[in-house]
Structure 1
């Protein structure tokens, strides 16, 4: 599976070299070595801790120890960043309205949606009795939908604007995740595939739109710091989503007295995740109707 990443990575490097502007850094800014160490320990501890907690790869006390160490390092980094002129991860970027809305809304969306592949695998294999190949073939419908939407996102956002697209799509994302919670062993495969295909389309549009809006108003000289902050939180929320879902699933099973996971246990987690995604739409209401309009207006002209 790892080898699949190699040609994709090479293609990514080529595309970056060809299309991404080479923003030069600000001369004379020293590397924030203490910030590098603290943020590295924080991110590593939290991401690894949530991953092993979610997948049960280590005893729970070790996972909690990793998360606790990550939280302590994160707190120490915040204290350090307040006293440093050039922090490695610059939280002052959250003063930029479009970046802040994309940051908080996107993280809330990822916490709600990133656990779906994990939960769907449990549902298809442990509850419906499908083998890994069958479960994978069903799940691939979401990837096909996501790929299709990449070619349509510019036109949609150009037509409706960032604000309306993100608000409406947040509700639709929540609705599709809620629809997944209604899957039963008797549900026809064509319905499962159709729902997952639609869910892939909607989530792809949401994250493509967020990806463009995040850097819409970030000055070129701050692009590197904005990228660092965004990438760090994306990795953290992806792992956090799986960890929360796994923890809640274990709690629900304990309360309901289930020795093995059942469809209704997973359905409760999916319903809560769908509600969380829909609630992220409230964050996007803070955007002005014209937010980021220049970005897709120029791209739409190029397409036309």
Structure 2
């Protein structure tokens, strides 16, 4: 008798569900990257300094990070279909609001709402697939869905540059409307409203502490170089964030239904992976924001050309996928992460050698290498972090990792923007390129700290 295959092709009755989740994944991936090439044009339209507009990116990413802990509980309590439908509605209406904004404050408010919708799209969609699609077909479903996650970031910078040049920056948000309407139409046909019979009481106090911690630290760093607010205000925000983080650490240790229990950190590999993820992503996740800004503001390139130059980064990431597992199996997690962390840091810092006269083919190669190394770093870190977690901690551990990834991105973008502004204030507007170059060196140097963290990985950690 032939054994039943472990993985099967996706059956037709589940394809519409996968398409629906892919739409959400695509919208979220597109919106994370499409804004980066449009920032200078947005700044001109809104009468703002482009170097101060990192708040548009931070507002979205920070609200995504803050709402990730809500996603699983809402889906269990109100059903995956109701939660997913609400997420699409929020995301689509917020996109409309962003597209119609006439001031920075309006835009920031709608970006926060957009982030709330975006935070629910991918986790709830993935949860719906997990609950509805048989495990034997789940790998096929995830493979199809992941294509949408790759296409979104691949298209984002170039599409954003094209829209800015040929229409206006408002269309980088309005483009979400037809996709959102399509998602709304498919939701009730494709996704059953699966709920859990018993749902724990939501840890509201822990959630509030986490939000205060994330917002305080990120906004404190973002406001550090602000001319409108005093240094005392920035330091106060960071202090509030640190106190809230410490209070949550106590809360996680003492409360039985805490969102993320402290017992997860008894697993040494998980603890190293979380801390390493946080520091390694500060520089790596700031680059998709910082490089398009430098290419346009300091190099004088057009938005479309800037977007095209970002494509090799995504291609490098795609090329790395098949080689990651063989490299880890050959050299082990510790050696790969130690060496690659230093290579990523060196690659980030080496962008300081780029000038407006650097040949395009060198820039293309540089972006490609960065994308390859950065992808190798992220996949290795994520796999290491989760690989030894017990089954009962896997869901909570994965959610906490997702939250840390987004928090690190928001802090990284805020840090990059703050450093550019600080160095420009020191050197003067005539030396804008130098401000970008020194910022890149600083972001690359952070990886030296990360290498010290990965040095703690046991030498014989199994693959």
CA 1:44–1:268: 2 relative to 1, 3 Å: closer
> Structure 1, residues 74-105: CA drift from partner, whole Å, max 9, x if none?
34323333331332122332221111111112
Task: Provide the C-alpha distance between the structure 1 equivalents of 2:333 and 2:317, rounded to a whole number of angstroms.
Answer: 18
SS of the residue corresponding to residue 222 of structure 1 reads helix
Q: How far 1:72 moved relative to its partner?
A: 4.8
Counterpart among 438, 449, 455 of residue 279 in structure 1: 449
Cα deviation, residue 259, structure 1: 2.7
Aligned equivalent of 2:339: 168
Aligned match for 2:425, one of 254, 257, 267 = 254
Pairs within 5 Å for 1:216-255:
216-255=387-426
Contact 1:169 1:202 (8 Å CA) reproduced: yes
1-structure distance, mates of 2:384, 2:413: 26
Q: Tell me, in whole angstroms, the C-alpha distance in 2 between the residues paired with 1:242 and 1:187.
A: 25
The alpha-carbon distance between structure 1 residues 69 and 287, as it changes in their structure 2 partners (threshold 3 A), is: closer
The answer to whether the 8 Å contact 2:283/2:348 transfers is: no
Determine the C-alpha separation between the residues in 2 that align with 1:7 and 1:207: 16
Moved over 6 A (4+): 6-12
Distance 1:281 1:75 in 2: 25
Equivalent residue for 2:27? 5
TM-score (norm 2): 0.55
- Secondary structure at 1:217 match in 2: coil
Rounded Cα–Cα distance in structure 2 between residues aligned with 1:152 and 1:252: 39
In structure 2, distance between residues paired with 1:252 and 1:200: 26
In structure 1, C-alpha distance between the alignment counterparts of 2:286 and 2:392, rounded to whole Å: 35
Structure-1 separation of matches of 2:345 and 2:303: 26
Are the structure 2 counterparts of residues 260 and 232 from structure 1 closer, same or farther at C-alpha, using a change threshold of 3 Å? Answer: farther
Pair 1:196-2:382 in alignment: no
2:275 and 2:221 map into 1 onto residues whose CA distance is: 22
With over 3 angstroms needed to count, the CA separation of the structure-2 counterparts of 1:6 and 1:110, relative to structure 1, is: closer
Q: Compute the displacement of 1:173 (Å).
A: 0.5
Greater RCO structure (CA 8 Å; 6+ sep) = 1
Structure 2: unaligned runs, 5 residues or longer: 1-22, 31-120, 143-195
What is the CA deviation profile of residues 89-126 of structure 1, one whole-angstrom value per residue up to 9, with x for unaligned ones?
Answer: 22332221111111112211111222112221221001
Q: Is 1:144 the equivalent of 2:315?
A: yes
1:74 has 2:245 as partner:
yes
What is the match of residue 302 of structure 1? none
Label 1:141 to 1:28 Cα distance change in 2 as closer, same or farther (>3 A): closer
Q: TM-score, normalised by structure 1?
A: 0.81
Q: Is the 8 A contact 1:46 1:67 kept in 2?
A: yes
- Shift, 1:38, TM fit: 2.6
Q: Comparing 1-10 with 265-274, which one deviates more in the overlay?
A: 1-10
Number of equivalent positions: 284
Residue 107 (structure 1) aligns with: 278
CA-to-aligned-CA distance 1:200-238 (integer Å, 9 cap, x gap)? 001101111111111111111011221232122211111
- Over 3 Å counting, the alpha-carbon distance change for 1:51 and 1:4 in structure 2 is farther
Task: For 1:10 and 1:113, locate their aligned partners in 2 and report how far apart those are by CA, in whole Å.
Answer: 22
Distance 1:60 1:225, change over 3 A: farther
CA distance in 1, matches of 2:351, 2:296: 15
Alignment check: 8 A CA contact 1:172 1:278 kept: no
Of the structure 1 ranges 192-201 and 260-269, higher mean CA displacement relative to structure 2 is found in: 260-269
> Is the deviation greater in 241-250 or in 123-132?
241-250
1:16-55 matches, within 5 Å, as: 18-19=138-139, 31-44=202-215, 46=217, 49=219, 53=223
Partner of 2:377: 206
What's the secondary structure of 1:279's corresponding residue? helix
Within the candidate set 262, 265, 271, 2:435 is matched to 265
Give SS of 2:353's match.
coil
> Which residue in 2 is equivalent to 1:182?
353
> Does 1:154 find its partner at 2:325?
yes
Greater C-alpha Rg: 2
Q: Alpha-carbon deviation of 1:32?
A: 2.6
Whether the 8 Å contact between 2:225 and 2:421 is mirrored in structure 1 is no
Which whole-Å CA distance do the structure 1 matches of 2:456 and 2:422 have between them?
A: 35
